[in-house]
């Protein structure tokens, strides 16, 4: 057996110092390939699958779901399979399997050192060291030479038969004979005694953690396939009897409670300050911790100021209604306002900058050739701000499509680090919550954020007469280090005028 290699948790392209481990895709004893997803971690408002740069047998998992890991600390230990060693004999396939995508440690064991497969795996690791970003940001190398399949090294019996697999891995005792016409990749995921019921690793893991006997569950999928919903249904239904275990199982770690739940065991006692009983203690972690850290830094570092103005949005509403009569695809109001914002930032570029502080304490205002417009979006996982890159080059229709796409992937937790961390100015539509205004906190390291309140009917003076108009409130919070009130007011008035008289501005766009 070769020397165990330790894979350290890398920077996931966001410059963060830690990440929360959401779940493992592998277990100790699993045989993995290069580029196979091994874990899911949650970082600055996004969930990322981490692929392995090594192939071999999983020796140790450095952390449990819900635990926060520091970047640069061990994530997983992998033991490469030695050529001609005992582990190699155990991992050798029972019959030929043509898998050209296998790498140095997942391919034929008699392959000599220095083969193309080994060179490819080594180049992969060198690319990851060079910071190409392909490993984590793109979820794997372009060639996709790894097979995202969870397998275990099979145990040879005393007679040398390899027709059965460990019960842990779902193979039946006395399973298919060595020469049976069965795909080994499916055999590794079957339920004992039920060769037609193929189960995903995540479903097997869920069943293990809840003590569910997969042999007694009818599969609702095609061909009797046991799905996640089948296991969830079994979990919710009290078991009538305990089934005998057919073979000894490796010791499993105790199930880890969901990290978001309050620690009820620590919820006892009385608060010394208030005299009230403590109901629960909820750790600040994950997305909430990232938001809290960023907001606290913004408030402590940025000398912010806020200006606001009421705006008659009737003209913009009428313009959009007019467009509806001639087209089915009409941009939303937020897309029009986003277009006005990018035009305003072109006229007032001070608000599309960033303050950088050198080690000696000196500061610079960094200006940008373009606008990456952040769109604040509330999700089940917390507040996220995906950004529309080069927003100044897009039309209102193009902005509308991109805003909808970004908010959708953000709410699904699938936004990439680049989409979440590249904004230069933020637009926040808090009117969807039914409020008029907000003293927003700037999304550090940006220097300004524009908020849009709800649009409601209000009395408004038009040409000396009182009328009912569609009115909203715009609120601009800005960093007073990059500009003075005159610049901020000029930008805010520019956007307000565009909303009140959109036809005049659109003629110049």
**CA torsion through residues 348, 351, 352, 356, sign:** positive
SS3 per-residue string spanning 286-332: HHHHHHHHHHHHHHHHCCEEEEEEEEECHHHHHHHHHHHCCCCCCCC
Alpha-carbon torsion angle 281, 283, 284, 286, nearest 10: -140
Closest CA to 153 of 215, 227, 78: 78
Pairing of strands 448-452, 425-428: parallel
Q: Locate tokens 């280090």: which residue?
A: 481
Catalytic positions are 480
Closest CA to 19 of 381, 320, 348, 290: 290
The radius of gyration of the chain from alpha carbons, rounded to an integer in Å, stands at 29
Query: Could you please report the per-residue DSSP string of 415-445?
Result: --HHHHH--SEEEE-GGGGT-S---PPP-TT
**Residues 212, 205: contact at Cβ < 8 Å?**
no
**Cα 43-7-87 angle, rounded to 5 deg:** 135
SS3 per-residue string spanning 203-223: HHHHHHHCCCCHHHCCCCCHH
Distance, in Å, from the CA atom of 170 to the CA atom of 202, rounded to the nearest integer, reads 13
Q: Locate tokens 């007073």: which residue?
A: 480
3-state secondary structure of 407: helix
Bridge-partner residues for 41, per DSSP? 21, 48
**Residues 236, 246: contact at Cβ < 8 Å?**
no
């Amino acid at each position: 057996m070769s020397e165990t290699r330790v894979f350290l948790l890398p920077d996931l392209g966001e410059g963060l110092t830690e990440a929360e481990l959401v779940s493992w895709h592998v277990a100790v004893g699993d045989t993995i390939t290069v580029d196979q997803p091994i874990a899911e971690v949650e970082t600055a408002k996004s969930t990322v699958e981490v692929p392995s740069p090594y192939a071999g047998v999983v020796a140790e998992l450095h952390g449990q779901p819900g635990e926060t890991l520091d970047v640069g600390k061990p994530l997983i230990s992998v033991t490469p399979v030695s050529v001609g060693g005992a582990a190699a004999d155990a991992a050798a396939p029972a019959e030929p399997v043509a898998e050209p995508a296998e790498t140095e440690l997942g391919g034929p064991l008699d392959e000599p050192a220095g083969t193309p497969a080994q060179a490819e795996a080594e180049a992969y690791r060198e690319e990851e060291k060079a910071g190409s970003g392909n490993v984590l940001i793109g979820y794997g190398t372009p060639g996709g030479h790894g097979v995202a399949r969870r397998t275990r090294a099979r145990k040879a019996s005393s007679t040398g038969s390899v027709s059965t697999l460990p019960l842990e891995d779902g193979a039946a005792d006395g399973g298919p004979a060595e020469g049976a016409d069965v795909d080994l990749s499916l055999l590794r995921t079957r339920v004992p005694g039920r060769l037609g019921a193929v189960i995903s690793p995540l479903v097997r893991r869920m069943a293990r953690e809840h003590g569910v006997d997969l042999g007694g569950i009818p599969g609702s999928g095609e061909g009797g396939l046991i799905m996640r919903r089948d296991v969830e249904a079994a979990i919710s239904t009290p078991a009538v009897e305990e089934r005998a275990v057919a073979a000894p199982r490796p010791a499993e770690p105790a199930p880890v409670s969901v990290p978001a739940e309050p620690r009820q065991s620590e919820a006892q006692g009385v608060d010394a300050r208030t005299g009230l009983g403590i109901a629960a203690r909820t750790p600040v972690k994950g997305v909430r911790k990232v938001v809290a850290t960023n907001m606290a830094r913004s408030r402590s570092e940025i000398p912010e100021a806020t200006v606001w103005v009421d705006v008659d949005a009737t003209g913009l509403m009428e313009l959009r209604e007019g467009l509806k009569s001639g087209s089915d695809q009409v941009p939303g109001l937020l897309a029009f306002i986003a277009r006005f914002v990018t035009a305003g930032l072109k006229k007032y570029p001070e608000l599309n900058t960033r303050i950088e502080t050198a080690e000696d304490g000196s500061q610079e205002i960094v200006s940008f050739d373009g606008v990456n417009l952040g769109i604040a979006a509330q999700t089940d996982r917390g507040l996220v701000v995906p950004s529309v890159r080069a927003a100044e080059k897009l039309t209102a229709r193009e902005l509308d499509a991109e805003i909808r796409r970004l908010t959708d992937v953000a709410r699904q937790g699938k936004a990439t680090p680049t989409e979440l961390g590249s904004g230069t100015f933020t637009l926040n539509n808090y009117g969807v919550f039914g409020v008029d205004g907000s003293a927003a906190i700037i999304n550090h390291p940006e220097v300004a954020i524009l908020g849009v309140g709800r649009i409601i009917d209000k009395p408004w003076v038009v040409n000396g007469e009182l009328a009912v108009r569609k009115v909203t409130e715009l609120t601009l919070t800005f960093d007073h280090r990059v500009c003075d009130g005159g610049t901020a007011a000029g930008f805010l008035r520019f956007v307000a005028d565009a909303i009140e008289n959109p036809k005049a501005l659109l003629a110049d766009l």
